Amino acid sequence: MISFQVNKKPASFAGDRNTPLLWVLRDHLELTGTKFGCGIGQCGACTVHIDGHAQRSCITPVSAIEGQSITTIEGLASADGVLHPVQKAWLEIDVPQCGYCQAGQIMATADFLKKHPRPSDQDIDKNMTNICRCGTYVRIRTAIHRAAELAESGE
């Protein structure tokens, strides 16, 4: 039995220890906000936070998260429902086109902004590696800058 936390709640998994975290989240815990994209850790649609750091869940075996804290898109907002600054910015800028990659984009951005609270366009281009098949990168960049503003102002 592998025990961990997901979105600040205790969770466990008694199946195959090599099962990717993505499938434990989606199939076992029924948290379907985290998406399957490529299955090889390249696209980032499956990005979650493991102990506060963005990780690709499709290539993370559940055995690697024993005792750790996982945050999915469903747990990014505060317990009282206040959206994270990145979520607010994504809505304000109307980032998604198809929306499939956006949970992963948001999770990657939330971690990125902890390290780069006032990012330049070059910081964004260098560090944001999630793929958007619709090509909404201009809106993503705008939303990242807006999220940084919201976070700085405490909104």
Mean pLDDT of all residues in 78-91: 96
CA dihedral (7, 10, 41, 34) in degrees, to 10, reads -50
Mean pLDDT of all residues in 33-47: 97
Quote the percentage of the chain above a pLDDT of 70: 100
94-136 residue pLDDT tens: 999 998 999 999 999 999 999 999 999 999 999 999 999 999 9
Is residue 142 pLDDT above 90, yes or no? yes
Picking from 27, 21, 23, 16, the residue whose alpha carbon sits closest to that of residue 5 is 21
Mean pLDDT of all residues in 70-74: 98
Distances (CA, A) of 152 to 40, 119, 142: 35, 12, 16
Is residue 3 pLDDT above 90, yes or no? yes
Distances (CA, A) of 81 to 77, 92, 98, 153: 6, 17, 24, 19
pLDDT band at 144 (very low <50, low <70, confident <90, very high): very high
Inter-axis angle of helices 137-153 and 102-115, nearest 10: 50
Sign, CA torsion 20/57/13/28: negative
pLDDT band at 154 (very low <50, low <70, confident <90, very high): confident
CATH numbers and ranges of domains, the chain:
2-75 (3.10.20.30), 85-153 (1.10.150.120)
Residue 155: per-residue pLDDT = 77
Mean pLDDT of all residues in 1-10: 97
